Structure 1
Amino acid sequence: MRVVVQRVTEGSVSVNSEIIGEIEQGLVVLVGIENSDTQVDAQWLSKKICNLRIFDDEEGVMNKSVLDVDGSMLVVSQFTLHAKTKKGNRPSYIHAAKPELSIPLYENFVTCLENESGKNVKTGKFGADMKLTLVNDGPVTIIMDTKNKE
């Protein structure tokens, strides 16, 4: 699983001009699922994301997690995170998981985040044409891939 985690002051996702998920301070997490990903990856990532110390403490040092600041999370599926661009100009998505694998794993990932944070996690709509709006705070953007756990 590959994620792009962005610290935000606000974020929202809409489908057909209707906002379906919206947060204030917290994290927007874009998640791409690969054919070889498992529930173990979802659990590892959710724990890592919830405990990332990327929010400022009282002294302006990034020393607090989304849990510490009582922040929210918005998770949006994004298969394009697995784009291969080595050959030609049209990206290949051959390693992105098909819906029969990625939908249950995406839902499990959201559940893991909810269990880890004790809060409801807002989401986009899997497979839909979504519009994402956010205000990146910092900017702080972290990229993680479960293939690089070790």
Structure 2
Amino acid sequence: MISVLQRVRAARVEVQGQTVGAIGAGLLVLVCAERGDTEQEADRLLAKMLKLRIFSDAAGKMNLSLQEVGGGLLLVSQFTLAADTSSGNRPGFSQAAAPDAGRRLFDYLVQQARALHPVVQTGQFAADMQVHLVNDGPVTIPLRIAPAAAPV
């Protein structure tokens, strides 16, 4: 799975002018399921998101996790993170999971996040969304969780 984590002071997602998800300080995470991804990759991605120490402590050092600061988590599906731009000028998206598989994994990720974290909001899968954010820092971190190797 591919994601881009953005530490925010506030973020919201609108669909057709209506806010469908909003948080105060926390993480806005753009998420893309790739072909071959499973719930195992979603679990590993979520664990990393919740525990990544990218929030400032009292001394101003990035030393605290989302869980430790009690920030919000806004998850937004974005298949374009799987863009292949290696040839030509039009990106290809063949590495993105098929829409049904992508929705299933995104829904699973949201369900698991809500079980582990108190403030979880989302965008709307496959919708034309407008994402508004105030990036804090700015801190923007790409994160890719590759499928685990099969046991030998």
TM-score when normalising by structure 1: 0.95
CA contact under 8 A between 2:41 and 2:147: conserved in structure 1?
A: no
CA displacement at 1:148 relative to structure 2:
8.1
The 1:63–1:7 alpha-carbon spacing in structure 2 relative to 1, beyond 3 Å, is same
Task: Report the residue type matching 2:133 in the other structure.
Answer: L
Structure 2: distance between partners of 1:121 and 1:57: 22
Structure 2: distance between partners of 1:46 and 1:128: 23
RMSD: 1.4
Task: Report the residue type matching 2:127 in the other structure.
Answer: A
Task: Report the residue type matching 1:54 in the other structure.
Answer: I
Per the alignment, residue 135 of structure 1 pairs with: 134
Per the alignment, residue 42 of structure 2 pairs with: 42
CA contact under 8 A between 1:46 and 1:116: conserved in structure 2?
A: no
Structure 1: distance between partners of 2:96 and 2:146: 14
The 1:12–1:100 alpha-carbon spacing in structure 2 relative to 1, beyond 3 Å, is same
CA contact under 8 A between 1:47 and 1:113: conserved in structure 2?
A: no
1:77-108 Cα distance to aligned partner (Å, 9 max, x none): 00000000011100000111112111111011
CA displacement at 1:115 relative to structure 2:
2.2
1:55-80 Cα distance to aligned partner (Å, 9 max, x none): 00000000111111110010000000
What is the count of residue pairs matched by the alignment?
Answer: 149
Per the alignment, residue 88 of structure 2 pairs with: 88
Task: Report the residue type matching 1:90 in the other structure.
Answer: R
Task: Report the residue type matching 1:147 in the other structure.
Answer: A
Per the alignment, residue 121 of structure 2 pairs with: 122
CA displacement at 1:110 relative to structure 2:
1.1
Listed as ranges, the gaps of 5+ residues in structure 2 are none
Q: How does 1:24-43 map to 2 (within 5 A)?
A: 24-43=24-43
SS in 2 for 1:67: helix
CA contact under 8 A between 1:13 and 1:132: conserved in structure 2?
A: yes
1:109-144 Cα distance to aligned partner (Å, 9 max, x none): 112222232x14100110000000001100101111
Q: How does 1:61-72 map to 2 (within 5 A)?
A: 61-72=61-72
Listed as ranges, the gaps of 5+ residues in structure 1 are none
Structure 1: distance between partners of 2:111 and 2:104: 10
